[in-house]
């Protein structure tokens, strides 16, 4: 499919490089999967900075460190590393709507999420696909409740997120054609939680009035499998899909700590109700509560970053 406005690759089509260790069945050659070294209720270190795009009304950059294989110290080739999360967000607005648009008494929020072509293990194209639209809709739901829209009639705000490096859905080693258990898109959940946090920082940087600062958090129920014997499922905060053999369910929330309200909630996987689960199995309510705890953690980082921004702005005004 040639895109006439872009420079296209070879017409014959290219394929991603296949590594010989993908095909081998000898377990000695396969490096170990990275394991989760932090305790189940500790989040990854987050780096958040605002003001990366001065020409926009507001902008922010978020980075979550990649999980490292504890045994290897040498820098790895792209095939062996697991990625962290790198997001940038720019906010343009509030801008006047075009004259042809119908009157709206509140601000119209438009969100746009896009993976960069080099963001994931499989190269993505330039046109938006369904998962990106899905993320955009969830992000809009999370932010819509927070912005005080009545102050800007006939205006629009655009929130644009570019994902420079995205979480993977599973460890690459599991992808070896031994019949992977259909990996649902677990990576998207941590990406969405990061998107909510970074969008909220950018909106605050733009000076748009909000009722509170919304933060995103994600929690999951994972089960490790050793020699075919299934262990009890455990609850972890801020899961990295490649660190776990099997993820049973995951939940992501957009949470307002000041008002103790949730603006967006998304649960994926198999999870039971409190009354129906046997002892030891996690229930839906527990999972949602833990996701809220994770959101509180990212809220702390968010507030610290916003304080720095506010101080810098005040210094410039003086």
Partner 1 sequence: MSTIAHPSPSNNPQSSLSFPRETFAKLSPHPYLLAHLTPSPSKRANSRSTAQFRTPHINNGSLTHAEGSAVVRVGDTTVVCGIRGEILLASDVPNYRVTTGAVGSGLEEQGAEEEAKDLDLLVPNIELSTGCSPQFLPGQAPGTLAQSLSTRVYSLLHSSRIIDNEELRIWYEPPDLSALGSNREDESMEDSEDSEEEDKPKREIKAFWTLYIDILFISLDGNPFDAAWASVLSALRDVRLPHAYWDPDREMVLCSDSISKSKKLTLRGCPVASSAVVFRAKEKRVSKGEEKYWVLVDPDTFEEGLCDECVTVVVDCTGGVVKVLGIEKVGGTVVGREEIRRIVRIAEERWKEVSSLIEA
Task: Name which position in 15, 71, 276, 278 contacts partner 1 (CB under 8 A).
Answer: 15
Contact of 249 with 269, CB cutoff 8 Å:
yes
Of residues 141-180, which lie at the interface with partner 1 (CB under 8 A)? Answer: 158, 160, 162, 164-165
Bond preceding residue 94 cis, omega within 30 of 0:
yes
Task: Name which position in 116, 176, 183, 265 contacts partner 1 (CB under 8 A).
Answer: 116
Contact of 83 with 167, CB cutoff 8 Å:
yes
Q: Least CB distance from residue 187 to partner 1, whole Å? A: 12
Per CB under 8 A, does 69 bind partner 1?
A: no
Task: Name which position in 60, 87, 120, 203 contacts partner 1 (CB under 8 A).
Answer: 120
Q: Least CB distance from residue 232 to partner 1, whole Å? A: 32
Give the binding-site size for partner 1 (rule: CB under 8 A): 58
CA distance 212 to 257: 8
Strands 108-115 and 155-165: parallel
Give the C-alpha distances (Å, rounded to integers) separating 219 from 143, 250, 262. 20, 6, 15
Structure token digits, residue 310: 């506010």
Between residues 5 and 178, which has the closer beta carbon with respect to partner 1?
A: 5
Contact of 185 with 48, CB cutoff 8 Å:
no
Helix (H, G, I), strand (E, B) or coil at 278: coil
Per CB under 8 A, does 18 bind partner 1?
A: yes
Per CB under 8 A, does 66 bind partner 1?
A: yes
Task: Name which position in 50, 83, 197, 263 contacts partner 1 (CB under 8 A).
Answer: 83
Closest CA to 260 of 287, 295, 236, 235: 295
Q: Which residues bind partner 1 (CB under 8 A)?
A: 5-21, 23, 52-57, 59, 66, 74-84, 86, 88, 90, 92, 95, 112, 114, 116-121, 123, 126, 158, 160, 162, 164-165, 316
């Amino acid at each position: 499919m040639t895109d006439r406005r872009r420079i296209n690759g070879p017409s014959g089509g290219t394929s991603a490089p296949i590594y010989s260790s993908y095909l081998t069945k000898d377990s000695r050659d396969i490096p170990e999967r990275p394991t989760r070294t932090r305790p189940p209720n500790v989040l990854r270190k987050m780096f958040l900075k605002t003001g990366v795009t001065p020409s926009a009304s507001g902008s922010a950059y978020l980075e979550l460190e990649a999980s490292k294989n504890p045994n290897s110290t040498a820098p790895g080739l792209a095939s062996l590393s697991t990625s962290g999360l790198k997001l940038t967000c720019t906010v343009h607005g509030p801008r006047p709507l075009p004259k042809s648009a119908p009157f709206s008494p509140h601000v119209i929020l438009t969100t746009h999420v896009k993976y960069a072509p080099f963001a994931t293990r499989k190269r993505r194209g330039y046109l938006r696909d369904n998962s990106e639209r899905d993320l955009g809709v969830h992000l809009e739901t999370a932010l819509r409740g927070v912005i005080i829209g009545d102050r800007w009639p006939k205006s629009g705000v655009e929130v644009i997120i570019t994902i420079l490096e995205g979480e993977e859905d599973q460890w690459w080693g599991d992808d070896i054609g031994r019949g992977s258990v259909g990996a649902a898109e677990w990576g998207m959940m941590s990406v969405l939680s990061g998107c909510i946090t970074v969008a909220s920082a950018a909106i605050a940087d733009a000076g748009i009035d909000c009722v509170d600062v919304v933060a995103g958090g994600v929690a999951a129920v994972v089960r490790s499998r050793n020699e075919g014997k299934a262990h009890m499922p455990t609850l972890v905060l801020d899961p990295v899909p490649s660190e776990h053999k099997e993820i049973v369910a995951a939940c992501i929330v957009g949470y307002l700590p000041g008002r103790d309200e949730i603006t967006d909630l998304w649960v994926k996987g198999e999870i039971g109700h409190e009354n129906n689960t046997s002892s030891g199995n996690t229930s839906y309510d527990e999972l949602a509560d833990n996701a809220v705890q994770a959101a509180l953690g990212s809220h702390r980082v968010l507030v610290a970053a916003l304080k720095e921004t506010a101080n810098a702005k005040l210094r410039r005004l003086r």
